[in-house]
Amino acid sequence: MNATEWAGFAVAIMTLVAGFTAAIRWLVHHYLSELKPNSGSSMRDAVNINTERLDRVEQRVDQIYLLLCEREIK
């Protein structure tokens, strides 16, 4: 191989590495954007909403349990 072929080979390898790097950066950017709250449409907001509902449901179950315990005592 002469110098021109080596230069072409090096440019091809650098192009592949740059394309792979750009693809990884794009994926990371879009996955990380899902973890930022944005008023309801991100996965982070969905998790927060479901966690809040679960907390409220657990509080209600605890209240029902206490009411049932009071009835059994009387």
Indicate if 29 and 51 belong to the same structural domain: no
Indicate if 56 and 72 belong to the same structural domain: yes
Helix then strand then coil, % of the chain, to nearest 5: 85, 0, 15
Number of domains present in the structure of the chain: 2
- pLDDT at site 66: 86
- pLDDT at site 32: 83
- pLDDT at site 63: 84
Q: How far apart are CA 16 and CA 25, in angstroms?
A: 14
Indicate if 26 and 56 belong to the same structural domain: no
Residue bearing tokens 């954007």: 33
Residue 48: CA count within 13 A, CB half-sphere: 12
Q: Express each pLDDT in 5-43 by its tens digit.
A: 999 999 999 999 999 999 999 999 988 877 776 666 666
Range of the domain at 29: 1-33
